[in-house]
Amino acid sequence: MLSILRRTRAILTAALLLPALAAAQEQWSFPAGSSPFIIDRMVKVASLRDGDVVVDLGSFDGRIVLAAVRSNPKVRGWGVDIEANLVAQANETAKRDGLADRAQFFHRNAFDVDLREVTVINMWLFRSLTQLLRPKILAEARPGTRVIVNGALIDNANMMGNWQPDRVDRGDGSQSPILVWVVPARVEGAWSWQLPLGGGEARSYDLLVSQQFQVIEGHARVGNRRESVSDARLQGADISFTLEVTVEGIGRVRHAFSGRVEGDEIRGTVTVTPAEGKPQQLPWVARRGTAASWFRTTGVSIK
């Protein structure tokens, strides 16, 4: 009885999947057809740089990684697939084309690979699997890692759930979308720093940051004054925002912060512009801590 049920389930599953797979094959055209053009687009959209390490999760016959390493002699890559014959085919192609020193392929599950050293992640999968890989990517990949997804199997910009892409390349408008995400640094929490404004004593700043993927908001405190920041942007590890706040003894001051997140520190510069005075650029080092300083007692006497 159990074997009959298993065979029945397999037949039903195949019946459900065949139309989707047929449509996918028509767009994907594997193992031949229009796919080289799509893959060239994926490689181009990745904006590969010297030293990049490219991985393909579900590498099929290795064509994406091989195209990437061919495009730049200083790019390395590897791929994983659960089909051993496809892995063998990819490695044979790399060897035949003299690329085996820069492109390797492994018979492995995508959930078992280490993403800490890669800089570009390629995926050409159904949405359900792409979304399941999202937690792994966000947990392991370094800030700034580009995630390139071919939307041919889904054709929408919602393949990572509520993590929206940073960019969607639609080619000439009639082609499958290529979606790009940039892994954001983790900046949610409390940050503090000091700035010597006007050559005088250092002023203490506290900032609370909330974050949803690459979208951030901030609320700052200087002395007993609080203001929300504006123009807050997070692109990988690069962060910037503007703060206009009244500083005791100086007046209204505009701050334009720009820096790079390095774990529990942000290092960069800030351009300080008083309402009456010339802009001044200062080094900026913020450190992550607790929210206690932002919530300390304010009192009713505000100057």
Residues forming CATH 3.40.50.150 domain(s) in the chain: 24-182
Strand residues in 62-145 grouped as ranges (E): 76-81, 103-107, 120-123
Positive or negative, the Cα torsion across 99, 102, 106, 109? Answer: negative
Scanning the structure block, which residue is given the tokens 């009885």? 1
Q: Is 261 exposed, middle or buried (0-12, 13-18, 19+ CB in 10 A)?
A: buried
Burial 282-296 (b: 16+ CB within 10 A, else e): eebebebeeeebbee
- For the chain, give every residue range classified as CATH 2.40.128: 189-289
Per-residue pLDDT tens, the chain, 303 aa: give them: 434 444 434 433 333 333 433 333 333 334 333 367 889 999 999 999 999 999 999 999 999 999 999 999 999 999 999 999 999 999 999 999 999 999 999 999 999 999 999 999 999 988 889 999 999 999 999 999 999 998 876 555 578 989 999 999 988 776 788 999 999 999 999 999 999 987 778 999 999 999 999 999 999 999 999 999 999 999 999 999 999 999 988 999 999 999 999 999 999 999 999 988 899 999 999 999 999 899 999 988 765
Options 3.90.930, 3.40.50, 2.40.128, 1.10.1760; CATH of 189-289: 2.40.128
- Specify the fold of 24-182: Rossmann fold (3.40.50)
For tokens 């071919």, what's the residue?
150
Enter the DSSP assignment of 211: E
Distance CA 91, CA 83 (A): 13
Question: Phi/psi at 276 (nearest 5 deg)?
Answer: -125, 100
What region, left, alpha or beta, does residue 265 occupy, with left being phi > 0 and alpha being psi -120 to 50 degrees? Answer: beta
Quick check: 130 and 179 in contact, CB under 8 A?
Answer: no
Longest dimension (CA), the chain: 86
- Whether this prediction's pTM lies above 0.75 is answered by yes
| First-to-last C-alpha distance (Å) of the chain | 82
User: What is the residue-wise DSSP string for 9-44?
Assistant: HHHHHHHHHHHHHHHHHHHH--SSSSHHHHHHHHHH
Length of the chain counted residue by residue: 303
Instruction: Find the radius of gyration of the CA atoms of the chain.
Output: 25
